[in-house]
Structure 1
Amino acid sequence: MITWPLAELLPHAGDMILIDHIDSCDDEQINTRTTVRPGGLFNRPDGSLPAWFGIELMAQSVAAFAGCRARRNGQPVELGFLLGTRKYQCDVEHFPSGAELHVHAQRSLEDDNGMGVFECHLHGPGIHATARLNVYTPPQPASYLAEAGPEESAP
């Protein structure tokens, strides 16, 4: 059972936390869920979410997996990057308002350099989406976000 608040597991804040709950998480996989609510930053005028949004729900599920593992190991939650996806397939054009969506992410590859691959499935009422996500957690994530100053970029 996961008792940590999502805000302590994800390197996101406020409205950018898009999953509602972690149902289960172990050393290899995570199961999350969310309900599509109208009025969000990414909603269409009818309250639905475009199907491509499934990639972000999958990516946040993978981030929650990493956050759970870090907390279990007594480590800080680190920033990670979604590098891309292969074979995203979704059988609908949008996720309707009110739909409860379930994401299952299974780790299929992870190396010591921070590269990982996750097989992801999203299910909801009449909805099925799959993707393989490529992710990266650098050894010092803050250095990837630092912007070079004028003196650092001059030859």
Structure 2
Amino acid sequence: MIPWPLAELLPHAGEMILIDQVDSCDDEQIHTRTLVRPGGLFNRADGSLPAWLGIELMAQSVAAFAGCRARRNGQPVALGFLLGTRKYQCDVEHFALGAELHVHATRSLEDDNGMGVFECHLRGPGIHASARLNVFTPPQPTRYLAEAGPEDPSHD
């Protein structure tokens, strides 16, 4: 268990925080979990969650990994971006209401420019999903967002 609330580790708020708890986190990996509850932003009519949401659960676990590292080092939590995923495979079409889902993300590559790759696995009752996530944490997120905005066509 970690000493910080999830809201202090993720650059998300309210209902957009989809993971419930960080079970463990070290310099190379994180273990998180969540319980599929009814009434969330992404629930289907039967209360289940679509399987594609596994990518977001993995991405939030990676964000929590970065948040834990920042807190351990006395730094603020930084904004990061999911650039993409490779080989997302899931053996179910949805995560059933009441299922407890466990995510394990392991850092496989990270450079000084903020690029990272994580191997992720999501497991639950009769569930296994896996993916490789490519992420980016810019050194100066506010400046990066200002530079990355769409160009104003009136300035042509």
SS in 2 for 1:82: strand
Q: CA deviation at 1:154?
A: 2.7
The aligned counterpart of 1:136 is: 136
1:154 aligns with 2:155: yes
Cα distance change on mapping 1:138 and 1:48 into 2, 3 Å: same
Superimposed CA distance per residue, residues 34-76 of structure 1 (whole angstroms, 9 cap, x where no aligned partner):
0001111111111000000000000000000000000000110
Superimposed CA distance per residue, residues 111-154 of structure 1 (whole angstroms, 9 cap, x where no aligned partner):
0000000000000000000000000000111123335796xx73
SS in 2 for 1:19: coil
1:126 aligns with 2:116: no
- Count of residues in Structure 1 that have an aligned counterpart in Structure 2: 153
1:12 aligns with 2:15: no
Superimposed CA distance per residue, residues 92-127 of structure 1 (whole angstroms, 9 cap, x where no aligned partner):
000001100000000000000000000000000000
The aligned counterpart of 1:71 is: 71
Q: CA deviation at 1:10?
A: 0.3
The aligned counterpart of 2:42 is: 42
The one-letter code matched in structure 2 to 1:86 is R
> Share of identical aligned residues, percent?
85
TM-score (norm 2): 0.94
TM-score (norm 1): 0.94
The aligned counterpart of 1:25 is: 25
Distance 2:22 2:62 in 1: 11
Distance 2:108 2:151 in 1: 39
CA RMSD of aligned residues (A): 1.4
Distance 1:101 1:4 in 2: 21
Consecutive unaligned residues in structure 2, runs of 5 or more: none
SS in 2 for 1:47: coil
SS in 1 for 2:15: helix
